Chains A and B, each alone.
Chain A
Amino acid sequence: MAVIRDMIPSFELFQPASVDEAVDILARYGDRSWVLAGGLDSLDWFKDRIKRPEAVVELGAIDEIRGIRASGDGLEIGAATSLTEVARSPQVRERFGVLAQAAAEVATPQIRNQGTLGGNLIQDTRCWYYRGGWPCYRAGGNICYAGTPRSMNREHCVTGASRCVAVNGSDTAPALIALGAQMMIRGRGGDRVVAAEDFFVGPAIDITRMTVLEPGELLTHVRIPGSWAGARFYWEKVRDRKSWDWALVSVAAAIVESGGRIERARLAVNGVAPTPVRLRDVERLLAGLPADAGTADAAGELATRGFRPLRHNDYKIPLTRNLVRRAVRGTAA
């Protein structure tokens, strides 16, 4: 069979009006089904004719998973809420600014208008070997083409690899980890809640998936607790071009200080591993220290301890170190 990378092959389109209905359809079709939200990741796969679902379940008609509302002392954001809405929401901006900033730097205005928070979190990796349709581990083969001594892996990972060296591309993921968010999931078997940092799975756990979502499950909402509201936030995404691009490395941080010292902190980086990485060691280190240059330097060093470069991506080590430093300092200056 020859290969062509154009024109979406046929599928059956479902546009359910409720989560339960969607979950039913997904259950019916099993691994022949596909969840479509904003579609920016999905349509790319479909046009490449690499992912070929039989049934596509489009979520646009499900009102219950759209919108932002207060929930307890925090917020609950529907997974199908557009990134533009997240970035512009006064509630998000005022209390959880790091998420608004991260959402505002995803791709381009058009993509943010259509792309959803859930889609940004669940997006598949952009490893160009994998996306190109190579029969790698992640695609069910038993080779990683990106991890060999001669591979082109400038944008691949420096930590957390297990056979696969692809990175997670989400901008909102590290922000939500820094905010201690929780992912609300619904499947045929009912609802479950998973902490943001546990939502993403690396290749050591399941090499074909990016998240804990089982086939047939839907991410319905993201719940952000009030615990970090109004903290000192830091967000930075370094990329080759100032629009469209995924992060080479990104950092998100929430830091609460009192009396000149860091009381508590949560930090996450992305673009360095198959999952976004919560920097627990750094958080522990920071507690009780002044947010000064010395602390920042120590945090940067600790954050990158154990990082191992591939052939082309050594730069991610100093880049991550420096971004963590900046996050602790709270400024690029």
Chain B
Amino acid sequence: MSDVEILPVSTPPGVSRRTFIKGVIAAGAAVSSAHYLFRPSAALAAGTSVRATFPRLLTLRVNGQARPVDVLPQETLAMTLRYKLGLTGTKLGCDRAECGACTVLIDGTNHYGCSILTHTVRDRAITTIEGLEAADGTLHPVQQAVVDEGGFQCAFCAPGFIMSMVALLDENPEPTREEAAHALAGNLCRCGDYNKILNSAMRAAEYARRMA
């Protein structure tokens, strides 16, 4: 691992020769230590608490309810929902905006709950999978359509897909199958149940129209 390859270079403008040498040493030192190729991160910020002036306590509007909650500045909405508000229907499949299992509605639009800071949605209406049923337990037309189609397999992706379907139908009550596919393309299903999921979306559109 000593044969570190260095591309032939000339020192670029604005970068001193000294910076280069520092780089070499840093890379070399990494070889036998724990970080291997990974550069060490900057030292942890001394004292992990935020400034007292920052209002950590906030009230979220979730599923029509006002929910006071203590939120760290760096906390994502998915974490707040799952670990502080007990709303575990919102799933973490990747935590990196790559799978859609954490999809929630923010003011009616679908977002990845894993990739938005809770503090940035303070004044907005948040809807999760738990907020779709009517007070009397009647399923939302989308949920009912999924049940009637026998939709989903492992269903870990289901809450996210369902939220995206709700967002779709809210905006486009009569989607074509292709439009539905595009609207749901930000949700991954590893069981590969896309055909049945699309069937469910089309049935949901039908139910929603009938109710309207």
| A touches B in complex, CB < 8 A | yes
* Complex: chain A residue closest to B104, CB-CB: A110
Chain A contacts for B51, CB-based, 8 A: 12
Q: What is the minimal beta-carbon distance from A111 to any residue of chain B, in angstroms?
A: 6
Given contacts A1-B41, A107-B186, A163-B7, whether A207 and B120 have CB atoms under 8 Å apart is no
B74 near A109: Cβ-Cβ < 8 Å:
no
Q: Within 8 Å of chain A (Cβ to Cβ): is B37?
A: yes
Q: Within 8 Å of chain A (Cβ to Cβ): is B159?
A: no
A135 near B39: Cβ-Cβ < 8 Å:
yes
A3 near B100: Cβ-Cβ < 8 Å:
no
A142 near B27: Cβ-Cβ < 8 Å:
yes
Q: Which of B6, B49, B110 contacts A110 (CB 8 A)?
A: B110
A111 near B119: Cβ-Cβ < 8 Å:
no
* Complex: chain A residue closest to B121, CB-CB: A60
Q: Which of A146-185 contact B (CB under 8 A)?
A: 147-148, 162-163
Chain B interface, DSSP helix/strand/loop, else mixed:
loop
Chain B contacts for A254, CB-based, 8 A: none
B7 near A144: Cβ-Cβ < 8 Å:
yes
Q: Which of B23, B38, B48, B98 contacts A142 (CB 8 A)?
A: B23
* Complex: chain A residue closest to B97, CB-CB: A40
* Complex: chain B residue closest to A111, CB-CB: B97
B72 near A10: Cβ-Cβ < 8 Å:
yes
Q: Within 8 Å of chain B (Cβ to Cβ): is A11?
A: yes
* Complex: chain A residue closest to B35, CB-CB: A3
Given contacts A56-B73, A135-B23, A207-B12, whether A10 and B117 have CB atoms under 8 Å apart is no
Q: Within 8 Å of chain A (Cβ to Cβ): is B182?
A: yes
Chain A contacts for B44, CB-based, 8 A: 9
Q: Within 8 Å of chain A (Cβ to Cβ): is B14?
A: yes
Q: What is the minimal beta-carbon distance from A45 to any residue of chain B, in angstroms?
A: 11
Q: Within 8 Å of chain B (Cβ to Cβ): is A46?
A: yes
B37 near A243: Cβ-Cβ < 8 Å:
no
Given contacts A10-B72, A109-B183, A163-B7, whether A140 and B120 have CB atoms under 8 Å apart is no
B41 near A108: Cβ-Cβ < 8 Å:
no
Chain A contacts for B147, CB-based, 8 A: none
Interface size grouping (class) on chain A: 35 or more
Interface size grouping (class) on chain B: 35 or more
Bound state CA distance, A206 and B19, in angstroms?
13
Q: Within 8 Å of chain A (Cβ to Cβ): is B76?
A: yes
B164 near A13: Cβ-Cβ < 8 Å:
no
Most A CB contacts (10 A, CB to CB) among B15, B24, B115, B186 go to: B115
* Complex: chain A residue closest to B38, CB-CB: A133
Q: Which of A10, A50, A163, A203 contacts B50 (CB 8 A)?
A: A10
Contact with B along A277-299 (1 / 0, CB 8 A): 00000000000000000000000
Chain A contacts for B35, CB-based, 8 A: 1-3
A203 near B12: Cβ-Cβ < 8 Å:
yes
Q: Which of A9-67 contact B (CB under 8 A)?
A: 9-13, 15, 36, 39-40, 43-44, 46-47, 49-50, 52, 54, 56, 58, 60
Q: Within 8 Å of chain B (Cβ to Cβ): is A315?
A: no
Bound state CA distance, A113 and B167, in angstroms?
11
* Complex: chain B residue closest to A59, CB-CB: B120
Q: Within 8 Å of chain A (Cβ to Cβ): is B154?
A: no
Chain B contacts for A123, CB-based, 8 A: none
Q: Which of A102-134 contact B (CB under 8 A)?
A: 107-111, 113-114, 132-134
B34 near A2: Cβ-Cβ < 8 Å:
yes
Q: Within 8 Å of chain B (Cβ to Cβ): is A141?
A: yes
Bound state CA distance, A3 and B167, in angstroms?
38
Q: Within 8 Å of chain A (Cβ to Cβ): is B109?
A: yes
Chain B contacts for A135, CB-based, 8 A: 23, 26-27, 30, 37-39
Bound state CA distance, A6 and B94, in angstroms?
11
Chain A contacts for B9, CB-based, 8 A: 142, 162-163
B98 near A244: Cβ-Cβ < 8 Å:
yes
A110 near B41: Cβ-Cβ < 8 Å:
no
* Complex: chain B residue closest to A241, CB-CB: B185
Q: Within 8 Å of chain A (Cβ to Cβ): is B95?
A: yes
Q: Within 8 Å of chain A (Cβ to Cβ): is B177?
A: no
Most B CB contacts (10 A, CB to CB) among A11, A135, A206 go to: A135
Top-8 shortest CB links A-B: A108-B186, A13-B73, A142-B23, A243-B185, A8-B74, A135-B39, A141-B23, A110-B186
Task: Sample 15 A-B pairs with CB under 8 A, ordered by A number.
Answer: A10-B72, A39-B116, A39-B120, A40-B97, A43-B97, A43-B115, A49-B41, A56-B74, A84-B109, A108-B185, A110-B112, A135-B23, A140-B26, A145-B5, A204-B13
Spell out B's residues near A (CB within 8 Å).
4-7, 9, 12-15, 19-20, 23-24, 26-27, 30, 34-35, 37-42, 44-45, 48-51, 54, 72-76, 95-98, 100, 103, 109-112, 115-117, 119-120, 164, 167, 182-186
